[in-house]
Chains A and B, each alone.
Chain A
Amino acid sequence: MQSVTFTFLSHAIEGIEGEPVAAALRRAGITELGQSGVDDTPRGAFCFMGICQECRVRIDGAVAYACKAPVLPNMTVTPYVQS
């Protein structure tokens, strides 16, 4: 079990290498992963099965599911911004 650090917006987050990004963020007290493109209300991981599309973030620029994507050292996670 390898403890590593990554960033979400301006926060430094500690997680375990290989665990889902959403799990590490939740232990750090972060549930809001972005906002709805329609009305800017907060959204976060909901179904954890790749169906709801609400946990999508950008990891080092590429769109990924936070419920599934593994934590890697020094990665940068930002919300997936819609219009």
Chain B
Amino acid sequence: MSNPDFSPVTVIGGGIAGTTSAIALARHGLPVTLIDEQPTAGGQIFRAPSPYARQTVPPNHEFSGGDALRHKLTASSVDVRFSTRAWGLSPTLALDLIGPDGIDQLPPSTVVVANGATERFLPFQGWTTPRITGLAGASILMRNGGTLPGQTVVVAGSGPLLFSVAHQVLELGGKVAAIVDAGHRSDWLRLGAMLSLDPARLTQATSWMLRLRKAGIPIHHRAHISAVQETETGLLLNVSEMDHPERRHVYASEAAACGYGLKPSTLITRTAGVQHRHDPVGGYLEPVTDLAGRTCRPDLYVTGDAAGIRGMAVARLRGLITAHAIAQDRSVISGETYETLTRAPLRQLRRLEAVSRRMLPLMNAGSAIPAHLQDETIVCRCERVKAATLRSAIKAGAEDLNQLKAWTRCGMGPCQGRMCEDSARGLLMAVCGKTSEDAGSFTARMPFFPLPLTAVTGTFAYSDIPLPKAAPL
């Protein structure tokens, strides 16, 4: 074994995967910094509840699991930087940060990307009204804020989050007007049959489904919200069936939550120049990694859902395995020790992964929706670009997402195209037959989110500005 390498490791993302990884890395004696935008660890699933939610939300696995994780982190030697976001990354992996004390740069280190998933959104007419939130967003509002999106809620989109969110609405005393799912009922039944491999999920799913059935909530499969109108008191939602467009249903509610599954957050891995591939089952781009999260860059690892959506239990296992792999790659532990430490987690991982992969088509069940967007539908919320504008630009020769962006401003706004990328890509694929690879992705630019100009400038005098030499006459 060569000399162990104890140089620093930076973990981006304090969710289940990142926190687990950071704690395990610290146990191997490596100096670890954990960065997260929240004021405490937990990520989206284990996010710490607000003081109000502590009082109003019934005790649940996410609260207790999150508290346990935060407790372990506090007891570890991990250096934490909370309320801090990475807004840039150099090719050498120096990280630009903004936190409570302004901007700062972490020198190059080994980086573990554990920034999890983002939700996939697909538009419909009227979807920019503030009474509509994302599905994951509604869950965060309820779980972590103890607050209902509205007294009655239509829950729409795809994937298991549909039933979780519907259940949370009932739990807080709200009413679910309808569940609108883009997936096939038969896909759910097939998934149900596999859940015996994952008893924790099976118990949870059974209790949700019993409660939803008891509440008599209408569930539409192979359906989606096609349009929404605002009324004095709330929303009027049109629900269309995908295989029978003539069958329409109308629901009234105070609010609606809509999201089409999760996808890995790739902004940082794309900026780092890591190789990515399109996962046709998940319908998303993911970084190419081995089981332990190694990428084509020896100084960059990806773990948890950022490496492909597999859910909470797998994220924890991946975080652990990645930490052990780094320890082995650094010669901090031997190959035999690595084998011993990872034998049980790997076995568990393989079993759970089979179930997780079965979830992916259910999450991606809305993939055909962009092709059929009505012309008047706003695709890019920031720049208010409509489907008709995108269609005509594509017909006029815009060949990929970046050209489409330049021609129409779609994706040019403050969200950097994260809200419209999937539907704009879907339109490109539908109108001119591009593959997902040909359509590409919006170029990732720094800052990764809008940055107050004064955070960059700070306090200064004119003489502090290092003026370069004058341009030629």
Mark A residues whose CB is within 8 Å of B: 1-2, 15-20, 22-24, 26-27, 31-33, 36, 38-39, 41-54, 62-63, 67-68
Contact = CB atoms under 8 A, between A and B. Distances in A.
A42 to B, nearest CB: 5
Given A17-B51, A23-B146, A47-B137, A53 B129 contact: no
B394 to A, nearest CB: 21
A78 to B, nearest CB: 16
Interface in B122-147: 128-134, 136-138, 140-141, 144-147
A26 B150 CA distance: 8
- Summarize A's interface: helix, strand, loop or mixed: loop
Nearest to B230: A42
B446 interface: no
Interface residues of B, number: 44
Interface of B: 37-38, 44, 50-55, 85, 118-119, 121, 128-134, 136-138, 140-141, 144-149, 255, 381-384, 413-415, 418-419, 449-450, 452
Most B-side CB within 10 Å, residue of A15, A23, A63: A23
A51 B117 CA distance: 11
Given A22-B141, A23-B146, A26-B141, A45 B133 contact: yes
Given A1-B55, A19-B53, A33 B384 contact: no
Contacts, number: 119
Nearest to A38: B384
B140 A49 contact: yes
Given A1-B54, A48-B137, A49-B137, 13 more contacts: A1-B51, A17-B51, A24-B147, A26-B147, A36-B128, A45-B137, A47-B121, A47-B133, A49-B140, A51-B415, A51-B418, A52-B134, A68-B38
Contacts of B118: 47, 49, 51
Please classify the interface of chain B as helix (H, G, I), strand (E, B), loop, or mixed, using the class held by over half of its residues.
loop
Contacts of B449: 50-51, 53
A1 B48 CA distance: 15
A27 B133 contact: no
A26 B133 CA distance: 12
B307 to A, nearest CB: 18
A63 B147 CA distance: 23
A1 B56 CA distance: 11
B51 A47 contact: no
A82 B50 CA distance: 30
7 contacts: A44-B130, A45-B141, A46-B130, A48-B138, A48-B140, A52-B381, A68-B38
